[in-house]
Structure 1
Amino acid sequence: MSKNQSLYEQSKLYIPGGVNSPVRAFSSVGGTPIFFKRGLGSRLWDEDDKEYIDYINSWGPMILGHANHEVLTAVHDASKNSLSFGAPTSRELDMAEEIVKLVPSIEQVRLVSSGTEATMSAIRVARGFTGRDTIVKFEGCYHGHADALLVKAGSGALTFGQPSSAGVPTDVAKHTLTLPYNDSQALQDLFSKLDGEIACVIIEPVVGNMNLIVPHQEFLESLRSLCTKYGTVLIFDEVMTGFRVALGGAQALFNVIPDMTTLGKVIGGGLPVGAFGGKKEIMQQLAPLGPVYQAGTLSGNPVAVAAGLKTLELIQEPDFFKKLSITTKQLTDGLTLSAKERNIDFCARNVGGMFGLYFSKTPPNSFEEIMASNRDLFKKFFHLMLSQGVYFGPSAFEAGFVSAAHTSVDIKQTINAANNAFDQL
């Protein structure tokens, strides 16, 4: 038995499902989860000392690659002064100033410890600001595991939602509506029907949680216009896309400015950090200034903030995102061409340093279209690539990530592995 298998069997005795986050269990693709012990640059090594090219990058944060020397030095220097204070530090101010400088929509920001905490808090603030209860999300978008967000669509697009997880009260879920992504007409119908009732709309401006789905420009612009017209707070969940698809996030890329933004992943440089921010008049609803309560003992943790600040500094180097996007496109173009040469219905695309792989003729634009892709072929492809040392996300519904540490050698090796994999499908 391999070390991976042994560790997994032991973990199942003490940890539900043997993992601390469900996607790690490989339930979608089958097989044994990989236990990693080391990372450097674009590479990972598991407990059996097998080497992999990493295209998950801790689900996005490792935009500089693993064990970046400058980030590690910043973490070490910060940790020498204590791991936590539970009190204000000057570095929290530095982080807040940096975020406000870089993200077009944010006038004030509050740090938290996770993306889920950020989205949950942003929705509470939006409800407090508007005095309304109803929120709107989109089918296939994931915004963390807060009760109000674990909701699926009802029997129709305008039907109140039902819980998609046990433990979520129906009375909570009923305040959440779910609409199809990239459907402008459904948006207009909903706002017309619920004139003045919607507190906020939360959306991934580029989706990464049902694979990579790119928004139609008209859809985002219509969403912005409707929220303005009806006094609804527009929240962009940029936990994944923030500082990933562009320096100013997806909102800078598509030039659509939300009222609030949630951030995470990259701003922690691999350590747990989240943030939510937006217009000053909205953010000042928060205690101690306003009536909306939110708190966190480890919010603005000095070591995590040090990692995030150094990461944000390094990604502002000239042409950083241009180079990252070029490398990612080389990967997606190479994989698409490899499949095309073998007459396999497969395509791939990227937005900045994020990418999607689809076993379909054309890239999907909605949850319905992604569900129509060939997931059985993805499972086979995933394991064929894994056996050759290429680590993609273990689900057909997850986006992938390239780091600045990935080289042309990594891309060439990946495409060679894909040639072999496609030959065996």
Structure 2
Amino acid sequence: MNHQKSEALFAKACRYIPGGVNSPVRAFANVKEIPLFVDHADGAYLYDVDGNAYLDFICSWGPMILGHNHPLLVNGMEEVMRKGISYGLCTPDEEHLAKLICDAYRGMDMVRMVNSGTEATMSAIRIARGYTKRNKIIKFEGCYHGHSDCLLVKSGSGALTFGTPTSPGVPEDMVKHTLVCRYNDLASVKEVMEQYPDDIAAVIIEPVAGNMGVVGANASFLKGLRALCDEYHSVLIFDEVITGFRLAYGGAAQYYGITPDMACFGKIIGAGLPVGAYGGKKEIMSCVSPCGPIYQAGTLSGNPLAMHLGTLLLDYLKTHPHLYTELADKGHYLKTGIEKLLQEKGLPFQVHQCGSLLTLFFTDTAISSYDEVKTCSQDMFTTYFHTLYEEGILLAPSPYEAMFLSDAHTKEQLDYVLDKIALALDKVKRL
């Protein structure tokens, strides 16, 4: 494919933007490519500035559950914008969207809108600490909760070792209260809880990890976390920035049948516009200013455009529950198709699928935690990515991201993808 215009734009962008991108995940450096510059998108397709068309399986990192440019969301948008694009004041859609979220999600009594998933998790941690009057939190290696200081941490030498900063610029003092445990390893969490029985404010987890590839938590593990948090009076936080309203209308809480104390959302609740939210039990959320003493604010939180589109989308998803079954069926169809190809070619790789989320792991190791994920081959993924990219299939340029399906993807398109995956796997096998 010709990428001349993208190359020229990237060269210009590098003069003014660090690395030429506004988020590292867009860099494509991991697969030895320049970033793709988008012109427009429609349905299941995305079109770059050079006129190349791609079947899009990034879907704006999840929120485009109906596909791009859906009439439900774009028709009438000009009229909404003419009323005003920002007020910094309350609008009716804020209440409507908040009610939709609370009605949909187990144990969600109140919700506060913010502007990103990072802001949502950062705020939830603060609220949990203020509510419990404790400082320490538990997170899990391989789970990404945004780039706030206390959550930008990698594990130490063991479950009881405090984490170390993942990035320069994060002081060690900022993560000294963050303990990192092993995903799907309840014993590691019990050990921490027993050592700090009165100090753990919260346990935060992606119930289906989407940032080390798609790795679902074992149901028994999540049930165990729920029980431990009850026993030690800690707040259980589900980070549903990826899974909320995508895995199921009620998110992973509905999928697993487990009720957390708090949950965080992003992306999809604004139909793709910048947005986030956190919420939970009334007794916890009543501590948030101006009701209570814990301060959290956002001048543009509840932006009217995001609230309008989010209300339209969640209303639609609520009244079309069959969409989730159809998306899961598409995910299963793609998974079984890839597994059949792997078997035919004698390749021992792993395919994980949860609803409309999918990842092919280039390893023969069974995966349930970040340690196993790290055994994947970057070289194999790079070859796989490039082959599909040149065939007009766009995946996230990282082996540790999800493949997102949308309502706009058709069976015929999935069959085309499987044909090209067969070609890509042949190339991988020759490495």
TM-score range, shorter chain: over 0.9
Greater Cα shift, 120-129 or 72-81: 72-81
Q: Hey, what's the Cα distance between the residues in 1 that align with 2:29 and 2:141?
A: 21
- Give the CA deviation at 1:91: 0.7
- Give the CA deviation at 1:363: 4.8
Code of the residue aligned with 1:63 in structure 2: it is: I
| Match of residue 341 from structure 1 | 344
3-state DSSP class of the match of 1:221?
helix
- Give the CA deviation at 1:339: 2.3
3-state DSSP class of the match of 2:337?
helix
Code of the residue aligned with 1:396 in structure 2: it is: P
Matched, 1:42 2:44: yes
| Match of residue 413 from structure 2 | 410
1:181-230 per-residue CA deviation (whole Å, 9 max, x = no partner) reads 00011011111111110011110000000000011111101100000110
1:29-81 per-residue CA deviation (whole Å, 9 max, x = no partner) reads 21111111111011101111111011110000100100111111253332121
Greater Cα shift, 70-79 or 323-332: 70-79
| Match of residue 33 from structure 2 | 31
| Match of residue 419 from structure 1 | 422
* Match for residue 392 of structure 2 among 389, 393, 396: 389
- Give the CA deviation at 1:236: 0.3
Which aligned pairs between 1:184-263 and structure 2 lie closer than 5 A? 184-263=186-265
Code of the residue aligned with 1:314 in structure 2: it is: Y
Q: Hey, what's the Cα distance between the residues in 1 that align with 2:133 and 2:310?
A: 34
Greater Cα shift, 389-398 or 77-86: 77-86
Q: Hey, what's the Cα distance between the residues in 2 that align with 1:336 and 1:342?
A: 10
Code of the residue aligned with 2:393 in structure 1: it is: V
1:308-366 per-residue CA deviation (whole Å, 9 max, x = no partner) reads 11111222214110001101211122122122211122232311111111112365110
3-state DSSP class of the match of 1:28?
helix
Q: Hey, what's the Cα distance between the residues in 1 that align with 2:367 and 2:45?
A: 29
* Match for residue 269 of structure 2 among 264, 267, 270: 267
- Give the CA deviation at 1:374: 2.0
Code of the residue aligned with 1:402 in structure 2: it is: L
Code of the residue aligned with 2:424 in structure 1: it is: A
Count of aligned pairs between the two proteins: 425
| Match of residue 304 from structure 1 | 306
Q: Hey, what's the Cα distance between the residues in 2 that align with 1:75 and 1:353?
A: 27
Which aligned pairs between 1:328-367 and structure 2 lie closer than 5 A? 328-361=331-364, 363-367=366-370
Matched, 1:109 2:111: yes
Q: Structure 2 stretches of 5 or more lacking a match? A: none
- Give the CA deviation at 1:110: 0.5
Query: Is this contact kept in 1: 2:100–2:315, CA < 8 A?
Result: no
Q: Hey, what's the Cα distance between the residues in 2 that align with 1:74 and 1:58?
A: 22
3-state DSSP class of the match of 2:75?
helix
Q: Hey, what's the Cα distance between the residues in 1 that align with 2:50 and 2:96?
A: 41
3-state DSSP class of the match of 2:29?
coil
Query: Is this contact kept in 1: 2:203–2:234, CA < 8 A?
Result: yes
TM-score, structure 1 normalization: 0.98
Code of the residue aligned with 2:200 in structure 1: it is: I
- Give the CA deviation at 1:101: 0.5
- Give the CA deviation at 1:279: 0.3
Code of the residue aligned with 1:373 in structure 2: it is: C
Matched, 1:84 2:86: yes
3-state DSSP class of the match of 1:315?
helix
Identity %, equivalent residues: 45
Task: Return closer, same or farther for 1:94/1:344 CA change in 2, 3 Å cut-off.
Answer: same
Q: Hey, what's the Cα distance between the residues in 2 that align with 1:121 and 1:318?
A: 31
Code of the residue aligned with 1:349 in structure 2: it is: H
| Match of residue 375 from structure 2 | 372
Greater Cα shift, 38-47 or 75-84: 75-84
Q: Hey, what's the Cα distance between the residues in 1 that align with 2:121 and 2:366?
A: 28
Query: Is this contact kept in 2: 1:26–1:33, CA < 8 A?
Result: yes
3-state DSSP class of the match of 1:199?
strand
Greater Cα shift, 371-380 or 142-151: 371-380
- Give the CA deviation at 1:243: 0.6
Q: Structure 1 stretches of 5 or more lacking a match? A: none
- Give the CA deviation at 1:168: 0.7
| Match of residue 8 from structure 1 | 10
Query: Is this contact kept in 1: 2:215–2:352, CA < 8 A?
Result: no
TM-score, structure 2 normalization: 0.97
For the aligned residues, what is the CA RMSD? 1.1
| Match of residue 131 from structure 1 | 133
Code of the residue aligned with 2:233 in structure 1: it is: G
Matched, 1:72 2:78: no
- Give the CA deviation at 1:287: 0.6
Q: Hey, what's the Cα distance between the residues in 1 that align with 2:11 and 2:346?
A: 40
